[in-house]
């Protein structure tokens, strides 16, 4: 009975202990005590139990400590614990499970994850708004750059015509067709690759085969009139290349000089270029442009100028670089248009999308030049220049009544259609750019100053004996002793002594002031690029040598255009009609600079120069009274002083002298045949002016000579 009770009590204790354990933490069960032993063994051991209770208690304490350590370890390692005792963790591993579910335990993690998701979504929305709304235009432009491009639509350059609307400079449409062996080979290998990689697509195979057949170089060679072998050698097609290997294809493509550009047709008419470009051949490109063409090149080259490449134009456009082409560049050029075009992957234009900027066609410029007279003037200058073995020759013809320049040319010249002939010397428009000491052609303005002063009249006498005069240690001479002469003889015989005596009798600024009134020392209204202004320095009271030299054309610098303008003012009765080169342009205001009677009296005096005893009899024209003046001056030596064997010859004249209509001025630099203007340039004036009077139907004012 006692054993049963003991067993029952033991079982009860076990049950009670098990119940208590379920409400606490789950731990490993303790090792059970063996209760199945006999009562005898139990009674025998009672004494021992008492003696060992204290030892068992020590052992139990030791086991309890071990269990407590295990519990703490399991707790940190995620052992199952109650919800009440579980630590709150967010990012660490789960610390246990609960029979109540996971929402309460995962609430913070749930909120955090959703917060991160919302932030990421907000960032994506913000980025999309920035790209598609705030900065949409930027990205749209970037996208457009990949599939579109802006093509310049070259405007037609206006013509330059003469006064009769005959073209002097025109723009001819031309085209250049080129072949790119690199692009051709790349297309060929790409089609071969498609052919090999798609054997089961018969329609695609047929299209590829047709395209390859059209790539036969024989077709291109026949259309461009070029040898097939040259094209084949340039393309270098190698059928043994593995077209599926990209690196092998790149290595087989043509490279080096000529691999991207092989000219087929250069500067031909668009109709001729169309025969090649219409083949739709891979690697064939056409460029259309306008080329400037000059129908009358040599006579007009320095006046019209030429075209040159614009360094600021990325497409290599051309612009006027000299002369009229440069002076009226904005008017002639117009404005290029811009067109938005759709392009393929190879940057080829597929079609025009829209016009971005309209094309503004250049306007024509009509000159006052008469191309007939211009040609005649150039040929006479060339003939005289070659005959006299001169450095150069230049000339102008001006309409007295309007100031219009009818002809202006210089020899030697160049072919403005072939700029390889152009040099620094032959491209200069010397009539407008070069300044020089004019010599005796300035004496009519010395006479004008004398008449204007009131001290002299047309009949005043001047004593030139003994044919020379000393001024400040310098001796000024005439060719011979002319004795006592009047104003007409002064001009007819070109007396330096008489001019000096007039200058020294007038105030120091009298001569130079008159020269300035006639336009010397300032640029003409032509506004030609690079035009010279000349130099007129007013001498002081004590500078008697300078006062003397300016009276006969030394000690000052002028241009040939200024001489022509001044003589035209004399011929028009003392009214200055500023020079002009543009036919329909607004003309500068004319002004009177001298009394009509005085001016015409000087013209009358100048008639004696071309008559018997004058220095320019060769300038006389049958049937017309001709007035003019020669000038033979020494050339300046750069090392100081003047050359003793080099001269400059100038003749300025007008016809008909009774009612002047035309003025002509001619110059020959350093003639080697003859040294006097009456023998070199006077004949040029005669030949040019004779035809000019005939062209303009100017009535005769003098009886014709009979044979």
Tokens of 26: 């789950």
Task: Please compute Rg for the chain using Cα positions.
Answer: 54
Residue 173 C-beta-side C-alpha neighbours within 13 Å: 11
- Please give the helix or strand (H or E) that residue 511 lies within, else none: helix 510-517
> Tokens for 206?
């047929």
**CA distance readout (Å), 391 to 18, 379, 408, 685, 688:** 136, 16, 18, 19, 20
User: Nearest Cα to 683, choosing from 630, 625, 633?
Assistant: 630
Rounded to whole angstroms, how far apart are CA atoms 308 and 325? 10
How far apart CA 441 and CA 447 sit, in angstroms, is 11
How far apart CA 485 and CA 496 sit, in angstroms, is 12
Q: DSSP letter at 74?
A: H
Helix, coil or strand: residue 698: coil
| Own/partner pairs, 583-587, CB within 8 angstroms, 24+ separation | 583/163, 583/366, 583/367, 583/368, 583/404, 584/366, 587/402, 587/403
> 527: Cβ–Cβ under 8 A, 6 or more apart, which residues?
327
Residues contacting residue 56 through CB under 8 Å, at least 6 positions apart: none
Distance between CA atoms of residues 329 and 401, nearest Å: 29
Cite the DSSP H helix spans in 148-282. Answer: 181-197, 202-214, 217-224, 228-235, 246-252, 270-277
User: Please, are residues 217 and 282 in contact by the beta-carbon 8 Å criterion?
Assistant: no
Check if the beta carbon of residue 509 is closer than 8 Å to that of residue 503: no
Q: Are 189 and 312 in contact (CB under 8 A)?
A: no
Question: Helix/strand/coil (H, E, C) string of 394-444?
Answer: EEEEEECCCCEEEEEEEECCCCCCCHHHCCCCCCCCHHHHCCECCHHHHHH
| Closest among 524, 581, 587 to 367, alpha carbons compared | 581
Lookup: tokens for 519: 């336009």
Active-site pick, 440, 495, 499, 551 = 440
Tokens of 7: 């067993």
Helix (H) or strand (E) holding 645: strand 642-655
Of 436, 341, 326, the C-alpha closest to 667 is 436
- The region that residue 483 occupies, defined by phi over 0 for left and psi between -120 and 50 for alpha, beta otherwise, is left
What are the tokens at 167?
């073209």
Query: 440 catalytic, yes or no?
Result: yes
Token reading at 350 = 């597929």
Catalytic annotation, residues: 440
């Amino acid at each position: 009975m006692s054993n049963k009770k003991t067993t029952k009590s033991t079982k009860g204790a076990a049950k009670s202990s098990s119940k208590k354990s379920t409400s606490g933490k789950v731990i490993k069960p303790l090792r059970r005590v063996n209760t199945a032993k006999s009562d005898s063994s139990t009674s025998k051991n009672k004494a021992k139990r008492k003696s060992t209770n204290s030892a068992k208690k020590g052992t139990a304490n030791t086991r309890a400590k071990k269990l407590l350590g295990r519990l703490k370890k399991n707790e940190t390692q995620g052992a199952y614990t109650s919800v009440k005792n579980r630590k709150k963790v967010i990012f660490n591993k789960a610390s246990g499970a609960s029979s109540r579910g996971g929402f309460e335990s995962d609430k913070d993690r749930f909120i955090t994850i959703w917060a991160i998701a919302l932030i990421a979504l907000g960032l994506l929305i913000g980025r999309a708004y920035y790209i598609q709304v705030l900065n949409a235009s930027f990205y749209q432009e970037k996208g457009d750059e990949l599939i579109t491009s802006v093509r310049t639509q070259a405007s037609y350059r206006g013509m330059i015509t003469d006064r009769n609307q005959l073209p002097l400079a025109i723009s001819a449409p031309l085209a250049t067709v080129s072949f790119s062996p690199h692009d051709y080979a790349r297309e060929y290998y790409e089609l071969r690759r498609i052919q090999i990689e798609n054997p089961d697509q018969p329609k695609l195979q047929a299209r590829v085969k047709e395209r390859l057949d059209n790539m036969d170089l024989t077709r291109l060679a026949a259309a461009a009139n070029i040898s097939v072998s040259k094209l084949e050698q340039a393309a270098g097609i190698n059928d043994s290349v593995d077209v599926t290997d990209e690196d092998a294809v790149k290595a087989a493509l043509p490279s080096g000089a000529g691999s991207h550009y092989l000219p087929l047709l250069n500067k031909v008419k668009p109709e001729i270029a169309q025969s090649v470009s219409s083949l739709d051949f891979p690697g064939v490109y056409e460029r259309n442009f306008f080329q400037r063409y000059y129908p009358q090149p040599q006579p007009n080259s320095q006046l019209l100028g030429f075209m040159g490449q614009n360094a600021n134009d990325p497409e290599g456009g051309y612009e006027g670089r000299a002369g009229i082409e440069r002076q009226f560049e904005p008017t002639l050029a117009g404005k290029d248009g811009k067109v938005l075009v759709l392009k393929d992957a190879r940057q080829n234009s597929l079609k025009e999308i829209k016009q971005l900027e309209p094309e503004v066609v250049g306007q024509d410029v009509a000159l006052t030049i008469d191309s007939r007279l211009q040609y005649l003037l150039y040929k006479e200058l060339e003939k005289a220049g070659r005959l006299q073995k001169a450095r150069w020759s230049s000339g102008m013809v001006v309409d007295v009544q309007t100031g219009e320049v009818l002809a202006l040319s210089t020899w030697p010249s160049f072919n403005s259609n072939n700029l390889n002939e152009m040099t620094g010397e032959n491209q200069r428009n010397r009539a407008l750019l070069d300044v020089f000491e004019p010599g005796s052609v300035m004496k009519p303005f010395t006479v004008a100053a004398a008449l204007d002063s009131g001290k002299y009249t047309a009949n005043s006498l001047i004593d030139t004996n003994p044919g020379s005069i000393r001024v400040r240690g310098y001796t000024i001479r005439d060719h011979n002793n002319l004795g006592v002469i009047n104003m007409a003889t002064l001009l007819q015989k070109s007396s330096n002594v008489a001019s000096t005596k007039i200058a020294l009798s007038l105030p120091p600024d009298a001569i130079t002031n008159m020269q300035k009134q006639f336009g010397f020392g300032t640029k003409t209204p032509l506004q030609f690029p690079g035009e010279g202004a000349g130099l007129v320095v007013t001498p002081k009271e004590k500078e008697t040598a300078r006062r003397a030299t300016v009276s006969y054309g030394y000690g000052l610098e002028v241009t040939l255009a200024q001489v022509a303008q001044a003589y035209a003012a004399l011929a028009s009765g003392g009214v200055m009609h500023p020079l002009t080169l543009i036919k329909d342009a607004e003309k500068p205001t004319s002004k009177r600079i001298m009394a009509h009677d005085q001016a015409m009296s000087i013209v009358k005096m100048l008639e004696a120069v071309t008559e018997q005893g004058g220095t320019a009899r060769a300038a006389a024209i049958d049937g017309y009274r001709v007035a003019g003046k020669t000038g033979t001056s020494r050339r300046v030596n750069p090392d100081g002083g003047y050359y003793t064997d080099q001269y400059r010859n100038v003749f300025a004249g007008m016809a008909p002298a009774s009612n002047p209509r035309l003025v002509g001025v001619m110059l020959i630099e350093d003639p080697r045949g003859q040294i006097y203007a009456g023998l070199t340039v006077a004949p040029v004036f005669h030949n040019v002016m004779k035809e000019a009077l005939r062209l303009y139907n100017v009535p005769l004012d003098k009886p014709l000579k009979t044979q």
